A = this chain, B = another copy of it.
Amino acid sequence: MDNKSSGGYELTVLMSLGFRAAIDELHRQLASSGFEDVRPAHGFVFQRLAPHGATGNEIAEHMGITKQAASQMIDYLEEHGYVKRHSHPRDGRGKIVVLTERGWGCIQATERIFAGIERRWTDLLGRERMDELRTDLRRLIQAAAEEGHPVHFRPVW
């Protein structure tokens, strides 16, 4: 019996590999566009930061990590020029983290690279199957969320 298709876990493995294929390609191309110092997790931070910034706690919750871990990531991103901390306008305890020019540049590069990846995928599968793929995956994730298990972007192991 073919081991990879035995059991019921094949779709899960395929989602994992599909994600990795895309994210590897993204970071190869980001690196050769001058963004060698960003990790996959940073992209998810940027996504939460656009367009108006977010607090450290919001980032932590978005990523499913502790606020301390989020704070350390923000340290890194600030040192590398991707974000800046501003004092929060309405909460003296809080700060808002916003993207710098370089941060936005990285987002734009990411958009461009992913557009290329998905264009190649669409060439391969056709637009209809691509749409179905997205629709179906959305439904699976939605179902998980409705069962009371919200899904985060956390690292997997």
| Residues on the B chain within 8 Å of A24, using CB | 149, 151
Q: Sort chain A's interface into a size bin.
A: 35 or more
A9 to B: closest C-beta gap in Å? 4
C-alpha gap A6/B112 in the complex (Å): 11
Count identical subunits in the complex. 2
- Is the CB of A61 closer than 8 A to any CB of chain B? no
Partner of A11, one of B3, B137, B151: B137
Q: Give CA–CA (A110, B13) in the complex, Å.
A: 13
Within 8 A of B (CB), among A4-57: 6-12, 14-26, 28, 39-41, 47, 50-51
What is the distance, in angstroms, from A30's C-beta to the closest C-beta of chain B?
12
Partner of A9, one of B12, B114, B153, B155: B114
Q: Are B134 and A41 in contact (CB under 8 A)?
A: no
Q: Is A75 an interface residue (CB 8 A)?
A: no
Does the CB pair B132–A132 fall under 8 Å? yes
Q: A65 to B24, alpha carbons, bound, how many Å? A: 15
Q: Which A positions have Cβ atoms within 8 angstroms of B?
A: 3, 6-12, 14-26, 28, 39-41, 47, 50-51, 110-111, 114-121, 124-125, 129-130, 132-134, 136-141, 143-144, 149, 151-157
